Amino acid sequence: MKNAPSALGQIALTEKKINLILWTLLPLSTLTGMAVDLVAPSLPAIAGALHVSSGITKNVITLYLLGYALGNFCSGFLTDAWGRKHILRIGLLGFIVASLLPLLVPTILAVLVSRFFEGVTIGTIVVVARAVYSDILSPEKLVRMGTLIGSMFGIGTVIGPLIGGYLQFYGGWKACFLFFTAIALIAFAAVLCVLPETHFRRHPLKFKTIRHHLVEVLRHQEFMALVLIMGAIYSLMIAFNTVGPFLIQIKLHHTPIFFGNTALCLGAAFLGATFFCRYCIKKYRVDQILFFTIHLFFLIALVAWSGSFFFSQSITLLLGVSMAMFFSTGFIFPMCMGKGMALFRHITGTATAMMFLINILMTSLTSFLLSFLNIQSTSAMIAIYLVLLATCILIYWKFIYFSSSPSAHAVQTRQAGKYNSPARPQ
C-alpha cells in the first residue's frame, strides 16, 4: 500500500515526498516569525485609532504569546494521541478565523481576542509541524533541522516588520490582519494537498499517560535548562518588539516605515546568525558553542550599557546593540531547540509542548512586565538586554556546567545517542 505505516509505526515515504513535506511545512515557521513582528509597527496606530493607552496596546503582544503557550501545550498531547494531519488543518483554519475578527469588529477587545487566538492556533501549527519532522527524519537530520527551522523563522522576523511598516503606512492597522488571512489561506491549501498522516504510534489521551510523559520531560535537567535559556534569549527580541515601537516612533520621532526598516536589519542579523550556527555545529560541540556565545553577548551588552550613559538617546547605539542581541537569539535559540527536540523523539509532541509552553510563558511574562515600564532611553533598553543575558548565564552555570549526575547522563545517552554532550566544555 502506498505510504503505509511500517511495523514500527513509521510511514514509508520516498525522499522526494519527504522533501516536499519539509518545504510545505518550513514556510509555516516563517509565518510564525511574522506573527509577532508584523503588527509591531502598528501598535502606536492601534492605540490612537481605538483610543486606548500604550500599556493596553502592548498587551496585543502579551496575549498573543499567552495564546501561543496554551496552543503549544494542549496541541502537544493532542497530536501524540490523534495524529498530525487533521490537527494541523484545524490550526490553520482557526488562524484564518481569528485574523478575520478585527476586520469585522474593529474594537480593542476584538483585537486582543484575535491576537490571543492567533497565538493559540500558531502554537498548534508549530507543535504539529515539528512533530512531523520527528516522524520523518533521523535524529542526525533532526538536530540540523533545528537550525533550518530557525532560519525560516528568521526570514519571518526579517520581512515581517518591513511588510508591517508598509502595510501600516499605506493601509492602516487592519491591513496586517488581512495579510495574515491571505497567507494562512495559501498555507492551508498547501497542507491540504501535500501532508499525509505521519504518526501511527499513538499515545492514549489519558491523564495517567500525560502525567507520565510530563514527569519524564520535566525531570530531564539538560532539557529543562535548554528550554529556560530559549525563553530568556527569545525575550531579547520580545523586549524590542514590545518597547521598540514606542521608543523609536514616539520618543525618538521616527516613522513606522523607519521602524520597519530597522526591524528588517535586526531580523537580517537573526537570520544570518542561524546560518552561521549551522556552520558552527558542524565543527564544534553544542555545549562548547553555548558556553562561548552566552558569555560573549553578555560582555557586549555590559560594555554597551556602560557606554549608553554618555549616549542615552543615541539611535545608532540602540540599533547596534539590538542587532547584536538579535544575532545572539538567532544563534542560541535554534541550537538549543534542535538539541532539546533530539532528546525526546519517542514523545515529541509532549516534549515540544513543554518546551514552548515554558519558553513562551517566560516571554509573555517579559512582555507583561515591560507593559508597566515607560522606557525613555537607550540605556534603559540595553539594561533590559543585560538582565536577560545574565539570566541565561545563571541558568547555564546552575543547570548545565555544574551538572554532573551520572544518572542524568545515562538517561541522556539512552535517549539522545551521540547528541548527549558533556556538561563541561573541553
Indicate the residue type of 262. T
The pLDDT, as a whole number, for residue 154 is: 75
> Which pLDDT value is given to residue 202?
67
Q: What is the dihedral of CA 204, 206, 210, 213, to 10 degrees?
A: -50
CATH of the domain at 93: 1.20.1250.20
pLDDT digits (tens, 9 = 90+) for 164-184: 888 998 999 999 999 999 999
The pLDDT score that the predictor gives to residue 308 is 87
pLDDT for position 100: 97
On whether residue 387 sits in a domain, the answer given is yes
What single-letter DSSP state applies at residue 8? T
The verdict on residue 423 lying in a domain is no
Q: What is the pLDDT of residues 329-368, one digit of tens each?
A: 988 998 888 788 778 877 776 787 788 788 878 888 888 8
- Per the domain annotation, does 3 fall within a domain? no
C-alpha cell at 101: 475578527
Percentage of the chain lying above the pLDDT 70 cut? 90
* pLDDT attached to residue 20: 92
**What does the DSSP assignment read for 124-187?**
HHHHHHHHHHHHHS-HHHHHHHHHHHHHHHHHHHHHHHHHHHHHHHHH-THHHHHHHHHHHHHH
Indicate if the pLDDT at residue 421 is higher than 70.
no
pLDDT at 68: 86
Domain-located, residue 424: no
Q: What letter does residue 31 receive in the DSSP assignment?
A: H
pLDDT beyond 70 at 276: yes
Q: What is the pLDDT of residues 215-249, one digit of tens each?
A: 888 888 889 999 999 999 999 988 888 888 888 88
251 DSSP 8-state letter: I
Query: What is the per-residue pLDDT for 311?
Result: 80
Of residues 304 and 155, the one with the higher pLDDT is 304
Res 35 pLDDT > 60? yes
13 in a structural domain: no
Sign of the alpha-carbon dihedral angle for 209, 132, 270, 167? negative
DSSP at 41? G
Q: What pLDDT score was predicted for residue 25? A: 93
Domain region containing 144: 18-195+220-413
Q: What is the DSSP string of 230-244?
A: HHHHHHHHHHHHHHH
- How confident is the model over 251-276, as a mean pLDDT? 83
> pLDDT tens-digit profile of 359-412?
878 888 888 888 788 888 888 899 999 999 999 999 999 888 776 444 444 544
Domain count, the chain: 1
**pLDDT for 425:** 43
High-pLDDT (> 90) share of the chain, %: 32
Question: Which pLDDT tens digit goes with each residue over 129-162?
Answer: 988 988 888 777 776 777 788 778 878 877 888 8
User: What's the CA gap between 191 and 212, in Å, rounded?
Assistant: 32
Q: Is residue 77 part of a domain?
A: yes
The answer to the question of residue 7 being in a domain is no
Residue 10 lies in a domain: no
